[in-house]
Every structure is written in structure tokens, then in C-alpha cells.
Amino acid sequence: MPRGDLFPDIAPYETGLLPLSPPSDGVRDSSPADAPGGTRHLMYWEQVGNPRGQPVLFLHGGPGAGAGAVHRRFFDPHHWRAVIFDQRGAGRSRPLGELRENSTAHLVEDIETLRRFLGIERWLLFGGSWGSTLALAYAQAHPERVVGCVLRGVFLGRQSEVEWFLYGLRRVFPDAWAGFAEHVPPEERHDLLGAYLRRLCDPDPAVHLPAARAWSNYEGLCSTLMPSPELVASFAQDRSALGLARIEAHYFANALFLPPEKTDGTGPGGLLGGMERIAHIPAEIVQGRYDMVCPPVSAFELLDAWPSARLTVVPDAGHSALEPGVRTALVAAVERFRRRG
């Protein structure tokens, strides 16, 4: 029978830190990021569930949000070999909030480095919000390594979506947006992204931490259909807030490091322009009807471009993966891939 909720709490059976800069030599490394020899990226990873099970890769959102223990619970531990990692600069990866050598191309290569390191041939991709963006970018770069995709809260990384986050959300959440905008002086509010990026990259914690809290609090307030103080509090914690806000602003300022959109009428460009590479790969898309962070239009446009995709619209949910209807739909989608074998 299909499950209606998440699986019980579970601890990983293996964890590690994988050196990424300089390139990994395949050796587990637990040295600090500020060890002699200069700053380098160390990527936190863990494996959960059945070591001989079907591999699935969890891709967290943001960019920069990091993964948490609750994300292990989307996968039946008796069947799945779930691989969870924190992307460069995020969560338990080191150094926190590092922007050097941090782009979508780096993250795609990091996934391949991790796949080879763990000896996995092919895997299911599971990602929401920015995780859906990264899943699409990786699948288009390495379609032969992907058995399928489960995507939630689709974000295609287009300028219109970034502008919606920075300014359009004011139409639905004017109070949350006011708190976001009022963190910077009135004369800078015409360029909220630039104003925030300058503060988030300031070396002084007295400058970058309040900016990170304001950015992350805004995103948390807009992420659920009904108010969720617990979710907002988790967004506003200093460590998670800094990784999320700084890296997210960095990616937004660089068009998410994605292929450019086309304006000459020859095609959509961006991620939609590469869909022919993965048209054959099956996909489950889960979208909250009232997702205001990543509005549903992007999920419908992705569906139109993906012959092998199926869309489930959750009628009483917003953006968060942990809203009851969304998590139920995500577990059901993963279970359908389980039955595919």
C-alpha cells in the first residue's frame, strides 16, 4: 500500500568529507578547510538506508540551503541507497558560504565526482526548488547516469523567476517583502540583489549576519501556504542563513550560471533548451498549487517540454517539501519509481 507520510528517522551508515579543490584523489578527508595549503572545498556526504539498494541522490535547495536529517525520510531505507550531500559552501560542507569556485558547472562536476567515488553506475535524482534546477542541469550533462527524476517546486533559473523572488512576491506577501526591503536604505532598494550581495560578502559578521537573517527570514515566510514559525526559525539560524543567503545571491547575480535564455524567437534557451537530451528519462514533478517562491507556471512549462514527465499538483500547499500534501506526493512519486525497478 502507498505510504501517506515520511519514513521514520534514520541515521546514516556512512559519512565523509570529499575534497573538491584541488580535485579529489578519492581519499576520504576530515581535515579542516583552513588547513595549510590554502582554502579548499570539502563536500559533506552521507549514505542512508540499504547499502545494496537502488541508488537515489538527494539534491537540496537554495542554492546554499544544505540538507538535513528530515530529508533522509523520503526514502524507504529497506529499498533505497540514499546519497545526501551538502553542495559547495552549504550546510556541513566547508568553508561555509565560500563563493570562489562555486558555480553550477562546479556542482555538476561535484555530483559526478561523488558518483564515481561511491562506485554508483546510475541513480534516481530527487530535488526540489534549486535542487530541481541542479537535477536538470546534471541530467542534461550526464543523461546516461540518470534513471529518472523526482522534482518539486520547479525553478528553471530564469531572470523572470529571480525578479519574481526579489520584487514580485510583494504582491502576495507585502509584509514579508517590507521586512526584506527595509533592511537596506531606500536609495538602494531599486537594486535589492546588489545591495544584499555587498552586505552578504562583507567580511564583518556585524554586516553579513543581519543581512543573511533578513534574506532567509523573507524566504521562510513565503515558503508555506499556512504560516510555519518552525520553518521560519530554521531558515533564520545564523549558520544556515549565511550559506543560503550569500550563495543564493551570488548565483542570482550570475544568472544561476545556466545557459542563456534566447530572445530571438529560435527557442527557449536555458534549461528548457536542453530538454531533448533527457526527453526519454521518466520524471515525476510535484508542485504546490500555491507555491509563491517558485510559481507553478514553471512546472507546467517543464511538463510541456518533457514527454516522459508526469505532474502532480498538490491543491493545498505552497513551496515547502514538508507541507503535508507535498511530502505525501513526493513519497508516492518515489514509490512509483521503486515499482519500476
pLDDT along the chain (341 residues), means of 10: 76 97 47 46 97 98 96 97 98 95 97 98 98 98 98 98 98 97 97 98 96 96 92 79 97 97 82 97 98 98 98 97 96 94 67
- The DSSP bridge partners found for residue 146 are 123
Residue 34, exposed/middle/buried by CB under 10 A (0-12, 13-18, 19+)? exposed
Relative to beta strand 14-19, strand 42-49 is antiparallel
- As a whole number of angstroms, the distance between CA 74 and CA 80 comes to 10
Domain count, the chain: 2
* 221 and 334, same domain (yes or no): no
Instruction: List Cβ neighbours of 166 (8 Å cut-off, separation of 6 or more).
Output: 192, 193, 252
Relative to beta strand 146-152, strand 123-128 is parallel
Final residue of a domain: which of 256, 287, 313?
A: 256
* 129 and 42, same domain (yes or no): yes
What's the pLDDT at 228? 87
* 3-class state of residue 188 by DSSP: helix
Alpha-carbon distances of 339 from 79, 80, 332, 334, 335, rounded to whole Å: 11, 12, 11, 9, 6
Amino acid at 110: D
* 104 and 211, same domain (yes or no): no
* 26 and 82, same domain (yes or no): yes
Instruction: Show which residues are catalytic.
Output: 129, 291, 319
* 248 and 294, same domain (yes or no): no
Buried b (16+ CB within 10 A) or exposed e, 59-81: bbbbbbbbbeeebbbbbbbeebb
* 3-class state of residue 83 by DSSP: strand
* 282 and 168, same domain (yes or no): no
* 3-class state of residue 323 by DSSP: coil
Query: Contact at 8 Å (CB) between 47 and 14?
Result: yes
* 223 and 272, same domain (yes or no): no
Query: Contact at 8 Å (CB) between 296 and 326?
Result: no
- The DSSP bridge partners found for residue 234 are none
Query: Contact at 8 Å (CB) between 120 and 14?
Result: no
* 229 and 248, same domain (yes or no): yes
CATH number at residue 121: 3.40.50.1820
* 70 and 165, same domain (yes or no): no
* 52 and 74, same domain (yes or no): yes
What's the pLDDT at 4? 59
